[in-house]
A and B are shown apart, each in its own frame.
Chain A
Amino acid sequence: MMKSITKRALMAGCAFAFAAGIVAGPAAAQDFPDGPITLVVNWPAGGGGDRAGRLLAQYGEKYAGVPIVVNNIDGAGGSTGVRFVAEAEPDGQTVGIFGSSIVAQQYINPNAPAVADLAPISFFGPDPGALEVRADTGIETLEQFIAALKENPGSIKNGNDAPGGWSYVVAALIEKAADVQMTKVPYKGYSPTVAAIMSGEIQSATLPVPQLVDQAKAGDINILAVTADERHFMAPETPTFKEEGIDLVAGDWRAVFAPAGVSDEVKAKLEEIFTKTVEDPEFQEAAKNVGFVIQPKGAEETGTYIAAFDENYYPVLLDAGLVKANQK
């Protein structure tokens, strides 16, 4: 019943688009962008993904020459918004800003669209992971943290996302790299995790640095290390895992995607718009204030980055028993 309605609506839509196409002539790349560009955010308004999307839309209009409209399409662990872009007309008018969850969801959720249904356009930036503990645990270094867990496995309760989410992956990667075992406690997003570590329900968290930097300055939290190649600009005194002798570099990231069928010309134009935006100094200043690490990359480089990420990430999901579809 529902399917037939959707199908009919789709057919009507196609017929309309076809008729419009005849009147207007086939849309050529030089006509792009033709009207406002829709930037889909696959999370609700107010979160980090939404903040990134709205910044990009605000500063991107200068380079697009048309308005960029943010559309929050939320649901199904982020998959609803991704599907909306994957199934959109590949004319470049609909793009989305998505994070690493698109890689996870294609394995966790049999109904989620595959990353291959999307064409990477431009990189926004990495969102490196970090390990924080409550100051009252007395743990001040990564070494002490690992020693405490080696002595008493599972004794430290770590706050993180549910298994598909990013901060869970960071926790799982730390366990693997340092060969320790903590108790991973799931929370619904970053803010409840912050509240839980402040309330003392959990002793450690694997949140990105900006989430807890102020509490660290106030002396309630110790940030032990970041899972990046370089130290984080908001916590310059915190070492990286590599500096501490553990080979762990892992980060969530955000990037702009178009539907996979987009033509090369339109793709090039989109790449130009969004890469220039991300390189814009005013944009970078605003993004830095919110705590985003910005790292411009072109379409090809973004694609390589995501492929490498997929490679590293898959075993973690497999270990966690989360691979339910598209098994490799």
Chain B
Amino acid sequence: MYGDFLGHLTGVLGTPELIALSAIGAILGIVLGCLPGISSTMSLAILLPVTYAMAPEAAIVFLIGVFSASVYGGSISAILLNIPGTPGAIVTQLDGYPMARSGRAGEALTIALFSSTLGGIVGLLVLMLIAPLIVAGAMQFRSPEFAAATVFGLTMLAYASPGSTFKGLMAGLVGLVCGMVGFDTVTDTPRFTFGTTLLESGIDLVPLTVGIFGLAEVMRTIELGSAKTAAVERIGRLIPPWRSLLGLWGSIGRGSILGAVVGAIPAAGSAIAVAVSYTQEQRLSRHPERFGKGAPEGIAAPEASNNACVGGALVPMMTLGIPGDSMTAILMASLLIHGLRPGPMLFADRPDFVAAVYVALFLALIFTLIFGLVFIRQIVRLLQLPPNILLVIVTLLCFVGAFAIRNNVDDVIVMVAFGVIGFIMTRLKIPIAPLAFGLILGPILEENLRRALIVSDGSWLVFVERPISATLLAISLLAVLYPMISPSLRKGLKVGRAKRLNDVE
């Protein structure tokens, strides 16, 4: 496979058309991803018809360019405007925006860019080298495992709001409840809609995050009176010191691996990957209190995860013919139109084409990195617009973003409502991030819990009989008990560290 890859890479590098297509795809991806409301899925769907007339290899090079670049593009608006460009970027802004506000926008974007690229490469390596292995593991993920993994995610939520765990949990619970509004996924009947059509479409993640982060921030700025604070006057240095990038390798590594694995699990999606990797970093950090106030790890880990998901999501598509998410579903459609059906047959019969997919992803990562670096100065300059104009632009983007995700006016009303809720919550010093996490995890937990019980004929033992599910639940239990046992544990660590120091001396 490795030889195929290199052979194909040299082949593609000798074909200017393919290089140009990948570059154009990357630019379009960054721009579309950056626009709030245009998710990676939407970008691909919009550009899919363009590829009908192309050769299959050209089509895949172009579309993977768009796909991979749009994932990074989504973090640009998250960092600069506090509005996620794509659903996968909702966590990036938790620390990206505070960092930009404190005059380190360039640094934040660069960290996001490097983490994205490295995460993308880890995803690609996983796809190339251990796809069959990963997919075997991912296929062990059935409904009980999904439910257990979500429980684990929820216990991490408790750590996501240091200082006010109680308030954080309450916000998380509100998020869980919000996830229940709309059509019940198991029985297909509307619930919690109060008889209105407004709530029938449910509370979508994008309008909610655009509201509680983006619009609420606009209101807060206006409340403060001086619009001055909205704009970031100093761009700051663009490239962070190498040493600080090197210091992030742990976060990037953990985020990448988590992203690649979660991405490979069909129907899991990048939203879970970023939520879990963010809370995990916070949990592992020696300074969890810095999170939410511009911690570089809070950008690096989720960005690496988000991009590693791309490679991960291609694993089940290439090996089993199962699209793991809506983005890979569109990639599959584009291949189907050319009479190529991804799956076990293609994987075995057409190694040349499989290699072409790998090369396409590799080129996409390189072009995203290049364009990201080249345009960073121009992108950041956006923040130097007069503050009142910037506020209008942000407000406009909030409305457009909430609407465009499903072309549904109801979502705009939901966005405005959560803008107000987010504003009030910030005033009451209730953390808002757990609300979004609750909304991500709630529906997944409910659907899989109920389905697991249907499959097990109602037996709750199914959650402890299956090894992965049991392990995840055990870790969750440990995470809950950890604060109670940690003081004695920390004492032990301190002794150990002191001992090691003595040994060194």
Determine if A58 is an interface residue (Cβ-Cβ < 8 Å): yes
Which residues of A163-178 have CB atoms within 8 Å of chain B's CB atoms? 163-165
Mask of A188-213 contacts with B, CB within 8 angstroms, 1/0: 10011011101111100000000001
CA distance A63 to B504 in the complex (A): 81
* Smallest CB gap from B190: residue in A: A109
CA distance A45 to B406 in the complex (A): 9
Pick from B187, B338, B346: contact of A163, CB below 8 A. B187
Decide if B48 touches A183 in the complex (CB within 8 Å): no
Pick from A72, A111, A162, A196: contact of B407, CB below 8 A. A72
Decide if B406 touches A198 in the complex (CB within 8 Å): no
**Residues of chain A lying within 8 A (CB to CB) of residue B143:** 196, 201
Nearest chain A CB to B410 CB, angstrom units: 7
Decide if B185 touches A162 in the complex (CB within 8 Å): yes
* Smallest CB gap from A1: residue in B: B413
Nearest chain B CB to A214 CB, angstrom units: 4
A163-B187, A186-B185, A290-B333 as given contacts; A46 in contact with B406, CB under 8 Å: no
Determine if A157 is an interface residue (Cβ-Cβ < 8 Å): yes
Decide if B190 touches A218 in the complex (CB within 8 Å): no
Determine if A74 is an interface residue (Cβ-Cβ < 8 Å): yes
Decide if A214 touches B139 in the complex (CB within 8 Å): no
Decide if A290 touches B408 in the complex (CB within 8 Å): no
Nearest chain B CB to A191 CB, angstrom units: 5
Decide if B45 touches A73 in the complex (CB within 8 Å): no
Decide if B45 touches A185 in the complex (CB within 8 Å): no
Determine if B133 is an interface residue (Cβ-Cβ < 8 Å): no
- The stretch among A47-55, A89-97, A139-147 that forms the contact with chain B is A47-55
Determine if B288 is an interface residue (Cβ-Cβ < 8 Å): no
**Residues of chain A lying within 8 A (CB to CB) of residue B346:** 214
Decide if B330 touches A83 in the complex (CB within 8 Å): no
**Residues of chain A lying within 8 A (CB to CB) of residue B187:** 162-163, 186
CA distance A108 to B183 in the complex (A): 11
Nearest chain B CB to A133 CB, angstrom units: 16
Decide if B454 touches A183 in the complex (CB within 8 Å): yes
Determine if B341 is an interface residue (Cβ-Cβ < 8 Å): yes
- The stretch among B21-29, B198-206, B469-477 that forms the contact with chain A is B198-206
Nearest chain B CB to A321 CB, angstrom units: 9
A80-B200, A195-B267, A201-B455 as given contacts; A44 in contact with B52, CB under 8 Å: no
A44-B326, A218-B344 as given contacts; A286 in contact with B337, CB under 8 Å: yes
A214-B341, A289-B337, A322-B188 as given contacts; A58 in contact with B49, CB under 8 Å: yes
Decide if B197 touches A83 in the complex (CB within 8 Å): yes
Determine if A308 is an interface residue (Cβ-Cβ < 8 Å): no
Pick from B408, B413, B451: contact of A187, CB below 8 A. B451
Decide if A215 touches B185 in the complex (CB within 8 Å): no
Decide if B41 touches A108 in the complex (CB within 8 Å): no
Determine if B162 is an interface residue (Cβ-Cβ < 8 Å): no
CA distance A73 to B139 in the complex (A): 32
**Residues of chain A lying within 8 A (CB to CB) of residue B408:** 73-75, 80
Decide if B455 touches A45 in the complex (CB within 8 Å): no
Which residues of A102-119 have CB atoms within 8 Å of chain B's CB atoms? 108-111
Determine if B389 is an interface residue (Cβ-Cβ < 8 Å): no
Interface size on A, residues (CB 8 A): 58
- The stretch among B116-124, B315-323, B394-402 that forms the contact with chain A is B315-323
**Residues of chain B lying within 8 A (CB to CB) of residue A195:** 139, 266-267, 316, 322, 324
Which residues of B3-62 have CB atoms within 8 Å of chain A's CB atoms? 41-42, 44-46, 48-49, 52
**Residues of chain B lying within 8 A (CB to CB) of residue A109:** 189-190, 200
Decide if A201 touches B200 in the complex (CB within 8 Å): no
Nearest chain B CB to A177 CB, angstrom units: 22
Decide if B142 touches A198 in the complex (CB within 8 Å): no
Decide if A45 touches B140 in the complex (CB within 8 Å): no
**Residues of chain A lying within 8 A (CB to CB) of residue B337:** 286, 289-290
Pick from A72, A111, A162, A183: contact of B406, CB below 8 A. A72
* Smallest CB gap from A292: residue in B: B336
**Residues of chain B lying within 8 A (CB to CB) of residue A75:** 182, 200-202, 406, 408, 410-411
Nearest chain B CB to A157 CB, angstrom units: 6
Determine if A303 is an interface residue (Cβ-Cβ < 8 Å): no
CA distance A214 to B197 in the complex (A): 40
Determine if A7 is an interface residue (Cβ-Cβ < 8 Å): no
Determine if B447 is an interface residue (Cβ-Cβ < 8 Å): yes
**Residues of chain A lying within 8 A (CB to CB) of residue B49:** 54, 57-58
A44-B41, A80-B408 as given contacts; A198 in contact with B183, CB under 8 Å: no
* Smallest CB gap from B407: residue in A: A73
CA distance A199 to B264 in the complex (A): 13
Determine if B343 is an interface residue (Cβ-Cβ < 8 Å): yes
Decide if A111 touches B200 in the complex (CB within 8 Å): yes
Nearest chain B CB to A37 CB, angstrom units: 15
Decide if A202 touches B316 in the complex (CB within 8 Å): no
Decide if B266 touches A191 in the complex (CB within 8 Å): yes
* Smallest CB gap from A104: residue in B: B188
A111-B190, A201-B143 as given contacts; A45 in contact with B343, CB under 8 Å: no
Mask of A1-37 contacts with B, CB within 8 angstroms, 1/0: 0100010000000000000000000000000000000
Determine if A71 is an interface residue (Cβ-Cβ < 8 Å): yes
Determine if B327 is an interface residue (Cβ-Cβ < 8 Å): yes
Mask of B437-478 contacts with A, CB within 8 angstroms, 1/0: 000000000010001001101000000000000000000000
* Smallest CB gap from A78: residue in B: B183
Determine if B329 is an interface residue (Cβ-Cβ < 8 Å): yes
Which residues of B168-215 have CB atoms within 8 Å of chain A's CB atoms? 182-190, 195-198, 200-202
Mask of A304-323 contacts with B, CB within 8 angstroms, 1/0: 00000000000000000010
A58-B49, A73-B407, A109-B200 as given contacts; A215 in contact with B321, CB under 8 Å: yes
* Smallest CB gap from A58: residue in B: B49
Determine if B345 is an interface residue (Cβ-Cβ < 8 Å): yes
Which residues of A269-328 have CB atoms within 8 Å of chain B's CB atoms? 286, 289-291, 322, 324
CA distance A6 to B322 in the complex (A): 42
Pick from B45, B188, B344: contact of A214, CB below 8 A. B344
Determine if B249 is an interface residue (Cβ-Cβ < 8 Å): no
Determine if A261 is an interface residue (Cβ-Cβ < 8 Å): no
Nearest chain A CB to B363 CB, angstrom units: 23
**Residues of chain B lying within 8 A (CB to CB) of residue A57:** 49
Determine if A76 is an interface residue (Cβ-Cβ < 8 Å): yes
5 A–B contacts from the bound complex (CB under 8 Å): A46-B41, A76-B183, A111-B190, A199-B139, A214-B341
Interface residues of B (CB under 8 A from A): 41-42, 44-46, 48-49, 52, 139-143, 182-190, 195-198, 200-202, 266-267, 316, 320-324, 326-327, 329-330, 333, 336-339, 341, 343-346, 406-411, 413, 447, 451, 454-455, 457
